[in-house]
């Protein structure tokens, strides 16, 4: 898959795709329906599948002081859309230039003149252009005017819940990664570089890999059953705490994951940890020994859930 970071001066080989348009934060089941519509159109038109997203997220541009909210890092988005067949990922820069484009200007300058789109797939609630004045109906009108076809995916409901990034964030805030996974179509996962901490866990018998949450939405503070993918592709079960570590000294919210049957040095490496099940809220213990006893019990519970 080719990843492109702009829309100007593209080679002919990078133009002319059937594209799915959206922010695609999380690439949840609803987003996947939009991408599938683009893929179907691409097959009929004999053109490649492309996905258009924006980096940074428009919300970051307009609300720079907002709380972290991302469900997915750009690298995770790239892997996910590649896995469903995308040949081109347009990670368009969202800054003052993009924000100033009217809905017509966005279609004319970015989609048509820049990307040369043959088809545009959108969701039922898509908005685009300055002031979010563009919508699915206007995209269809622009398609008729500029000669590209348009498809609009309807809302998708799973287990009575309309799928949206907002609903997924709410489940994570509530400590329900299992519910979030239903809407995502896979577990929510935090990717980041392992940082060196005080190594207190190692001294207490549970060495942890510490990863800052960065721009990710902050799930409910507490202990989770996890599965972690290492750089070499290995996947390891574990148990993790997400929180501020009130017992041993408050820190910025982070993930601290104990990887079972693993003792290698992975400082500086990028790992990806899936949250599978919530075990308990984060606690303040009177002593580190009491904390250690509870974490070993958490590990037993996690191993039981993970199975052999």
Q: Give dist(CA 218, CA 216) in Å, integer.
A: 6
Domain with CATH 3.40.50.620 in the chain: 2-155
Where does 121-280 have alpha helices with state H? 136-146, 165-173, 177-184, 200-203
Mean pLDDT computed over every residue of the chain = 94
Looking up tokens 């898959």 gives 1
Q: With cut-offs at 50, 70 and 90, classify the pLDDT of residue 282.
A: very high
Q: Return the H-helix or E-strand segment holding 61.
A: helix 58-62
Strands 254-259 and 235-243: antiparallel
161-306 is a CATH 3.30.1360.120 domain: no
Percentage of the chain modeled with pLDDT above 90: 84
Residues 259-282, mean pLDDT to the nearest whole number: 96
Q: Which of 39, 110, 26, 126 is nearest to 74 (CA)?
A: 26
Contact 14, 7 (CB under 8 A): no
Q: What is the pLDDT of residue 68?
A: 92
CATH of 2-155, picked from 3.90.870.10, 3.40.50.1400, 3.40.630.30, 3.40.50.620, is 3.40.50.620
Q: Which residues contact 4 (CB under 8 A, 6 or more apart)?
A: 10, 14, 88, 89, 90, 91
Residues 231-235, mean pLDDT to the nearest whole number: 95
Would you say the C-alpha torsion 51, 55, 61, 66 has a positive or negative sign?
positive
Range of lowest pLDDT (42-46, 84-88, 106-110, 154-158): 154-158
Residues 219-246, mean pLDDT to the nearest whole number: 96
58 vs 145, higher pLDDT? 145
Q: Indicate whether 81 pLDDT > 90.
A: yes
Q: What is the pLDDT of residue 1?
A: 95
Q: Give dist(CA 64, CA 196) in Å, integer.
A: 29
Q: What is the pLDDT of residue 245?
A: 85
Q: Which of 221, 253, 225, 218 is nearest to 239 (CA)?
A: 225
Q: Give dist(CA 117, CA 41) in Å, integer.
A: 11
Q: Give dist(CA 103, CA 135) in Å, integer.
A: 9
Q: Give dist(CA 86, CA 79) in Å, integer.
A: 10
Looking up tokens 């590209």 gives 148
Q: Which of 102, 98, 115 is nearest to 2 (CA)?
A: 115
Percentage of the chain modeled with pLDDT above 70: 97
Q: Return the H-helix or E-strand segment holding 258.
A: strand 254-259
Burial of 115 (0-12, 13-18, 19+ CB in 10 A): buried
SS3 224: strand
At residue 296, φ and ψ (nearest 5 deg) are -65, -35
284 vs 80, higher pLDDT? 80
Domain with CATH 2.40.30.30 in the chain: 161-306
Q: With cut-offs at 50, 70 and 90, classify the pLDDT of residue 195.
A: very high
CA angle 203, 208, 209 (to 5 degrees): 140
Q: Which of 45, 38, 135, 127 is nearest to 88 (CA)?
A: 38
SS3 192: strand
Q: What is the pLDDT of residue 66?
A: 85
């Amino acid at each position: 898959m080719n990843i492109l970071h702009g829309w100007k001066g593209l080679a002919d080989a990078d133009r002319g795709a059937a594209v799915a348009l959206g922010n695609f934060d999380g690439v949840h089941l609803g987003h996947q329906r939009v991408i599938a519509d683009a893929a179907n159109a691409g097959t009929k038109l004999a053109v490649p599948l492309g996905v258009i997203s924006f980096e940074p997220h428009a919300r970051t541009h307009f609300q720079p002081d907002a709380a972290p909210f991302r469900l997915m890092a750009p690298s995770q988005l790239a892997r996910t859309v590649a896995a469903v067949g995308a040949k081109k990922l347009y990670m368009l820069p969202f800054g003052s230039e993009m924000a100033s484009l009217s809905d017509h200007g966005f279609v004319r300058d970015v989609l048509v003149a820049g990307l040369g789109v043959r088809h545009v797939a959108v969701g039922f609630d898509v908005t685009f252009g300055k002031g979010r004045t563009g919508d699915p109906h206007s995209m269809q009108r622009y398609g008729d005017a500029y000669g590209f076809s348009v498809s609009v995916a309807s809302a998708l409901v799973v287990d009575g819940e309309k799928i949206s990034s907002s609903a997924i964030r709410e489940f994570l805030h509530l400590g329900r990664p299992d519910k979030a996974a239903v809407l995502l179509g896979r577990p929510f996962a935090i990717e980041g570089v392992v940082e060196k901490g005080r190594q207190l866990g190692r001294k207490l018998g549970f060495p942890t890999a510490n990863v800052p949450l960065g721009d990710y939405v902050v799930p409910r503070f507490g202990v989770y059953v996890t599965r972690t993918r290492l750089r070499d592709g290995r996947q390891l079960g574990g148990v993790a705490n997400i929180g501020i570590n009130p017992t041993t000294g408050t820190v910025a919210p982070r993930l601290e994951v104990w990887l079972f049957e693993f003792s290698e040095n992975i400082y500086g490496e990028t790992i990806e940890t899936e949250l599978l099940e919530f075990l308990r809220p984060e606690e303040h213990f009177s002593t580190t020994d009491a904390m250690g006893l509870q974490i070993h019990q958490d590990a037993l519970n996690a191993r039981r859930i993970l199975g052999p």
